[in-house]
Amino acid sequence: MAAYIARRLLLMIPTLVGIMLITFAIVQFAPGGPVERIIAQIQGSDVSATGRFGGSAGGDLGNAPTPGNFSGDPVTNRYRGAQGLDPEFIKQLEKQFGFDKPAYERFFQMLWNYARFDFGDSYFRDVSVLSLIAEKMPVSISLGLWMTLLTYAISIPLGIKKAVTDGSRFDVWTSTLIIVGYAIPGFLFAILLIVLFAGGSFLDWFPLRGLTSDNWSALPWYSKIIDYFWHLTLPLFSMAVGAFATATLLTKNSFLDEIRKQYVQTARMKGLTERRVLYGHVFRNAMLILIAGFPGTFISAFFTGALLIETIFSLDGLGLLGFESVVNRDYGVVFATAYIFGLMGLITGLLSDLTYAWVDPRIDFESRRL
């Protein structure tokens, strides 16, 4: 097992490099960039850039030369809409963002910095990338963690019940509801919940915005907990309505496969109760897939970003951060999040494999060829 873990850890290096290379290449060919965003802001043709630009973009723009008259310099001509700006001003912007260096040099410098977990600062916000991600994580942790626990809490007992009552009316009706729930996009279900329960057209039971109320800090501790889950109710159900469908059907099918095996018939012939057979013999083997995947799912929940759900319920999390970073060409945040999420994905994959081996010692990864 030690050799397998070592191989997987070594394999993470080229995998991460590949992820960053693809991301970097896409960004190079994508139209626009941080320099273009500032030019548009200066020309007054980009309102969103004005909203996001806080006076510095990876450097002190106050020291940059005042834009002058267009001189026909090719540096200025590279940027559409830069007519009328001093070429020296454009050159200084490029230097501040590092675009005065060749692409390959910027790429390897980025890899060296990220290998030391030095992610730098946001281009358009006066804060480090790590601080920015940490600021948004409470929302993503709240959504991802509780959705994962809620999904497992619903899917496991429901899947077991469906397996035991396979073919019954309960099984048919619940399968129908699960399929319908899985087919409905989460954001449409979120809108439906808002219309029904958040003051849309019927009831006004739940809040529509934020993770906590404005007076949350003044509430007693028990009221803080109630207020927190009160705000989370609608977003969680919007995300979980389709998420538990796969786990439920997987649990049912796993139990059905195990129930039909010979050792289950033998246990029943020995006079064991159905409950003892089901939970004492079938459960461990049937739940192998879900149990082994739980650590990876649990850790991934801390980095879950649900753009549409966060937007609909005004939750400022990692999903919205990633979208805004791409739109605003904040490449420092884009590259850092790609690196961090890629690394976490590789680690959770390794943890899932190790959990498989722990749950079922018959699984041998030593002979597995990577």
Number of other residues whose CB lies within 10 A of the CB of residue 252: 25
Which tokens belong to 268?
A: 């029943």
- Hey, where are the domains in the chain? 139-311
The two three-digit tokens of residue 14, written as one number: 């080229």
- Give residues with Cβ within 8 angstroms of 232, minimum separation 6: 142, 143, 146, 211
Closest by CA to 228, choosing from 161, 141, 292, 168, is 141
pTM: 0.70
- CATH superfamily of this structure's domain 139-311: MetI-like (1.10.3720.10)
* Dist CA 238 CA 139 (whole Å): 15
The answer to whether the CB of 226 falls within 8 A of the CB of 177 is: no
3-state secondary structure the chain: CHHHHHHHHHHHHHHHHHHHHHHHHHHHHCCCCHHHHHHHHHHCCCHHHHHHCCCECCCEHHHCCCCCCCCCCHHHHCCCCCCCCCHHHHHHHHHHHCCCCCHHHHHHHHHHHHHCCCCCECCCCCCEHHHHHHHHHHHHHHHHHHHHHHHHHHHHHHHHHHHHCCCCHHHHHHHHHHHHHHHCCHHHHHHHHHHHHECCCCCECCCCCCCCCCCHHHCCHHHHHHHHHHHHHHHHHHHHHHHHHHHHHHHHHHHHHHHCCHHHHHHHHCCCCHHHHHHHHHHHHHCHHHHHHHHHHHHHHHHCCCHHHHHHCCCCCHHHHHHHHHHCCCHHHHHHHHHHHHHHHHHHHHHHHHHHHHHCCCCCCCCCCC
Tokens of 353: 């494999």
Give the pLDDT confidence score for residue 166 in this predicted structure. Answer: 86
Smallest CA-to-CA distance from 121 within 319, 328, 331, 318 is with 331
pLDDT of 69 above 50: no
The pLDDT tens digits for 154-195 are 888 898 889 888 889 998 999 898 888 888 888 888 888 888
Task: Pull the structure tokens for residue 198.
Answer: 């958040």
Average per-residue pLDDT in the chain? 77
pLDDT band at 17 (very low <50, low <70, confident <90, very high): very high
Higher-pLDDT residue of 369, 11: 11
pLDDT digits (tens, 9 = 90+) for 208-229: 888 888 888 888 888 888 988 8
Which residue in the block uniquely carries the two structure tokens 């943890």?
A: 351
pLDDT digits (tens, 9 = 90+) for 328-359: 888 888 898 888 888 888 888 788 777 777 76
Contact of 75 with 92, CB cutoff 8 Å: no
